[in-house]
Amino acid sequence: MRKIIYWVHTSVDGFIDGPGGEFDWPVMGPELSAYSEGLNERVDTLLYGRRVWDMMVGFWPTADADSPHPHTLAFAPFWRATPKIVFSRSYQGDDWTTRVIRDDLAGEVAALKAEPGKDLLLTGGAGLAAALTGHGLVDEYHIAVHPVVLGGGRKLFTEPKQRLTLDTTGSRLIDGRVVVTSYRPRP
């Protein structure tokens, strides 16, 4: 069975973007980039909610031509080559979208997890992560806490309908500034 890995950046005060939706605060140093690339090696499909998709498709198709940052140079070719699934009731898709899932979230995702292949990577966002968590479909959480206080924005975990108890599977300081902790849901 394939796993869903949720990979997200958050502020110390628990927000995944700033009050105006800004996402200019995560710093991708060499160790954090390597951690992210390690997750990429485990997956063969990328999952996005609509809001994160709009941000990703607005940057990654030509990012390596626009930025010399090592993380950008490594991730852009991977992003372009990897199948991408967008979850949205209204989005029709584009040239970069492999598939759009509109309905039956739990059934469609359970079917994806049952297909042969590598794991699935859900990057960023809060709404889709909360919905998948609510259905018990997220298998691993990898949370990078950056040393910034944003004072508002979208919460890392939107108001859950029930308590979620997690087991910590690892934690480390990366690039001397970002704490990445991995968790799995307690059975």
63 lies in some domain:
yes
64 lies in some domain:
yes
pTM of the model: 0.95
Burial 154-177 (b: 16+ CB within 10 A, else e): bebbeeeeeebeeeeeeeeebeee
Domain that holds residue 87: 33-118+135-159
- 10-residue mean pLDDT profile of the chain (187 residues): values are 97 96 94 97 97 93 93 95 96 94 95 97 93 95 98 89 92 98 95
Tally the domains of the chain: 1
Cα separation, 65 vs 41, in Å, equals: 23
What was the pLDDT predicted at 160? Answer: 73
150 lies in some domain:
yes
128 lies in some domain:
no
What was the pLDDT predicted at 187? Answer: 87
Residue found under tokens 């609509």: 50
Cα separation, 1 vs 51, in Å, equals: 28
What was the pLDDT predicted at 159? Answer: 75
**Are 127 and 51 spatial neighbours (Cβ–Cβ below 8 Å)?**
yes
Measured at the CA of 96, the angle between CA 84 and CA 23, to 5 degrees, comes to 75
165 lies in some domain:
no
97 lies in some domain:
yes
What was the pLDDT predicted at 28? Answer: 95
93 lies in some domain:
yes
